[in-house]
Structure 1
Amino acid sequence: MLTRLKISGFKNLVDVDVHFGPFNCITGVNGSGKSNLFDAIKFLSALSGSTLIDAAVSVCREGEKTPDIRSLFHCVGGKYDKEISFEAEIIIPEQGIDDLGQKAEASITFLRYIVTIAYRDDNSLPSLGSLELVREELDRINLQDASKHLKFPHKAGLWRKSVIKGKRALPFISTENSGKQKDSSIIKLIQDGIQGRTKTFQLAALPRTVLSTATSENPTAFLARREMQSWRVLRLEPSSLWASDKFATPPGLGADGSHIPATLYYLSHVPGSSNKAVLTYDQIASRLSKFNENIHKVRVERDEKRELLTLEVVDYDGTVHRASSVSGGTLRFLAMIVLELDTRPVGLICLEEPENSIYPDRIPEVLKLLQDIATNPKRQVGPDNPLRQIIINSNSPIILNQAPADNLLFAELKELECAGLKFKRACFSCLPDTWRKKAFPESDTVSKDKVFSYLKSIFPAEEQSLDISPKPKQKKSESTDDRFDPQLRLPTFSDV
């Protein structure tokens, strides 16, 4: 789980500092940095398992024959920043298994990871340039300090106690300068335990982060690596959502929404449960029918001849529809149901514009499902409440209206002057009187009037006459909730 992320030098993310809870909704104008934040998370995740170059290429624009990794660095007037830096506070699993089946157990589960990467011109790679590691640290956040860092509403005696465990006196990874020369810096990988062994690496020679090499011999670093590798940025594509899978396809929803059939088939055929398939398909159909009332059954058809798994839905007339003939909105919602049911993967899930292809009156059901996927911070973490986190970005005024105010962040551009240069950087502002502002008074804040203006700007012209001005405050009754209500009559399906 990612609880805080500081970024500087990545695209238009300069001196960004964002605190996250279990469920987070980012909205704002186009070009303000919403997708850049997701790219930064994707880059940080890739650094935990790939070389520096491969990680950078993975977040460059798709389709480029020669990816320009320098495009990841903040640029003003043709002048690029020299470094990209990340600082992440993360909660990791207490236990895990490495690639060789060896068990790893963390010394402490609340950590801070820092990494700084610099661009270096390289004549041998004229199209790519080169990257070098400048700094890397992995350190503990002690249990007694956890309450200072975790400020989102949660039950300390239940949720926090079940995820924040262990103790540690030393860092796990540290960077030290062993001399006056530029190339004399070293990185230390320190084993768990009081007298753990220390491995030393020459910083200048490293093609990848030290964290990306961690194994069960360094269990806490390894589990931090596994946590960051588990982070997913999902951009659901229609052609992937309805595609069939081979019998041998591993279960698990792809970043583009692929492998729904393989994942559903796996979830419905757990060994030792004879009626699991019926129960799983009925559960899915029940949830899906709240989104599309015409759906009666959901199933995965096995084609033994072609060895294919194909998703099918059955309506109340008994007509069978293959996934390729099902609406994109229904398939997107089904993909989210799969995310909820498949509790094997834990960690962070970022989802781009979940409202795409969804009728307006059904968007609230999408929002509810996404909130259900995230861990419930009022309950103990376990099999029925996995440690999962959701961050969505959205341009939907309905989501902005329906999402709890505590969960909202508003992306906007603010002017900054640095080294004599003026530029606009991304800011992720919270609403007044929410947990971020109360816990961190220095947090950027967006006024409700500005949110109203944004809501008005993204409505079609015929909706511009709607009254979206702030209304006098009313006394909050026990039946009301904490959703941010801009007093706007939102269009429903009957209006479309």
Structure 2
Amino acid sequence: MTIRSVTIQGFRSIHHMNLTLSRLNIVSGPNGCGKSNLYKAVRLLHEAANGQLSQAIANEGGIQKIMWAGGHRAGDRSKDPKRMKLAVEMEHYEYQLEIGFPEPLITLFALDPLVKVEGIWLSGYQRRKMSELLERTNQAAFLKNVDEERIAYPMSLTPEESVFGQLSDPHLYPEVSQVRETMKNWRFYHEFSVSGNSPIRVPQVGIRSPVLAHDGTNLAAAFETLRERGNSETLFEVLEKAFPQTQFYVQEMGGRFQMMMQKQGILRPLESAEFSDGTLRFLCLAVALLSPRPPNFMALNEPENSLHPDLLPALAMLIAEASRYTQLWLTTHSNELVEMIKHYSDVQHYQLDQVEGKTVVKGASLIDED
């Protein structure tokens, strides 16, 4: 269930933007133009599906820190400055979430979000009533059940969380549950834990791990799982391109796994504690992108960070290969990486800029910023 488009309104520097997505999507631009804001907005949809909407917003500093703070044109009533809207259209379903501020006179929790509106529709019906699967306004909701009946949800909803995090008896609402599970299975990779005291650098209990953790802490187990069950030929081809005359493998010690590296000219293998930050980061990217259990959608935020320019050709090949199995969203400030990826694959490329505090897209007719 790939994503056809994403609409974001009133989120940080994004006043209003609609992006049409393809298989491999790249968002680039200078520092401070709003690339990471787009990434975070899409991730917020994922967190809503996981029942972590208010916590995710708290991690960003609270509702006041993520709402649009720019100006509005006189007479523009189409966009509520006190409301944020996130929407996604997938192959079969559309989902929309609208968030506002809590009432300060009623609660001390002034940084919590307040879910105002939430809806799910079948795609292709222009959101007609007949296609509606979920209609939520504040704490009341109507859902279409397994018998195709529109019924009132029997419980009052918590105002700061999505319906997804409160849905009991999901088998009664199969289509709503399918949307939730689809969005929960999206994957996001932003920062890997590669510091000197990182769990990646010390032996960890090894369990089969077809999915790399968001912070990469199960790297050794995920690497070995990929070697045994996944596309190991591509993995080692990419690693040879990135690190010539170097072999990577997992050492097992009493059930604990550790990444090892044998480099030509060095007489002993190196343990993961001795790897450079860039080496560990590249290994994490390779294992994440070649997962033997690929997701429908994966987003990477500035994957080139801390990588030497010599690693970019291998990274480009890796990203293009992964896009054969997963819809990818990539934010980057490396034009060199973008051009390398285009050598391997067709790309939907959005170039961003910021004008008077507003994130805008340069010369793309598929964008609706107003």
Equivalent position of 2:20 in the other structure: 19
Q: Does residue 217 of structure 2 align to residue 258 of structure 1?
A: yes
Indicate the structure (1 or 2) with the bigger Cα radius of gyration: 1
2:205 aligns to what?
246
Give the C-alpha shift of residue 409 in structure 1: 0.9
In the alignment, which residue of structure 2 is the partner of 1:302?
252
SS at match of 1:233: strand
Instruction: Tell me, in whole angstroms, the C-alpha distance in 2 between the residues paired with 1:430 and 1:406.
Output: 16
1:176-255 aligned at under 5 Å gives the runs: 186-193=140-147, 195-196=148-149, 198-200=151-153, 206-214=159-167, 215-237=170-192, 238-239=194-195, 240=198, 241-247=200-206, 251-255=210-214
TM-score (normalised: structure 1): 0.63
Shift of 1:319: 3.2
CA contact (8 A) 1:121 1:130 kept: no
Structure 2 counterpart SS, 1:31: coil
Measured after TM superposition, the shift of residue 209 of structure 1 is: 1.7
Identity %: 19
Report the count of equivalent residues. 348
1:129 aligns with 2:105: no
Compute the displacement of 1:300 (Å). Answer: 1.2
Could you say what secondary structure the match of 1:9 adopts? Answer: strand
Q: Is the 8 A contact 1:235 1:257 kept in 2?
A: no
CA distance in 2, matches of 1:363, 1:52: 35
Contact 1:68 1:127 in 2 (8 A): no
Contact 2:10–2:81 at 8 Å: present in 1 too? yes
For 2:166 and 2:34, how far apart are their aligned partners in 1?
Answer: 31
Distance 2:154 2:100 in 1: 18
Unaligned runs of 5+ in 1: 61-66, 92-109, 149-167, 177-182, 271-275, 376-385, 416-423, 432-436, 445-496
Alpha-carbon distance in 2 for matches of 1:228, 1:430: 30
Residues 373-393 of structure 1, C-alpha deviations (whole Å, 9 max, x = no match): 113xxxxxxxxxx3x121111
How many angstroms does 1:308 deviate by? 2.1
1:325 pairs, out of 250, 274, 296, with 274
Report the secondary structure of 1:117's partner residue.
Answer: strand
Q: Is the 1:4–1:19 Cα contact (8 Å) retained in structure 2? A: yes
In 1, distance between residues paired with 2:9 and 2:313? 34
Amino acid at match of 1:129: L
For the 8 Å contact 1:52–1:132, the answer to whether it is kept is no
Distance verdict in 2 for CA 1:392–1:246, change over 3 Å: same
1:9 aligns with 2:10: yes
2:348 to 374, 389, 407: 407
Q: Which has the higher contact order (CA 8 A, sep 6+)?
A: 2
TM-score of the aligned structures, taking structure 2 as reference length: 0.82
1:132-151 alignment runs, 5 A limit: 132-142=114-124
Give distance in 1, aligned partners of 2:363 and 2:300. Answer: 19
**Contact 2:238/2:318 (<8 A) preserved:** no
Residue pair 1:53, 1:130 contacting (<8 A) in 2 also? yes
> Do the aligned partners of 2:9 and 2:86 also contact (CA within 8 Å) in 1?
yes
Task: Give the superposed CA RMSD.
Answer: 3.1
Shift, 1:207, TM fit: 3.9
1:160 corresponds to = none
For residues 76 and 428 of structure 1, the distance between their equivalents in structure 2, rounded to whole angstroms, comes to 17
Offset, 1:201: 5.9
Q: 1:199-219: CA deviations, max 9, x gaps?
A: 336777544222334423322
Query: 2:308 matched to which residue of 1?
Result: 359
Q: Give 1:233 shift.
A: 2.4
Return the match for 2:242 from 291, 300, 307: 291
- Counterpart of 1:172 (choices 100, 110, 133) is 133
Q: Which residue of 2 aligns with 1:483?
A: none
The reply to whether residue 120 of structure 1 matches residue 58 of structure 2 is: no
CA deviation map 1:401-433 (0-9, x unaligned): 334384221111134xxxxxxxx31123355xx
Displacement of 1:175: 3.8
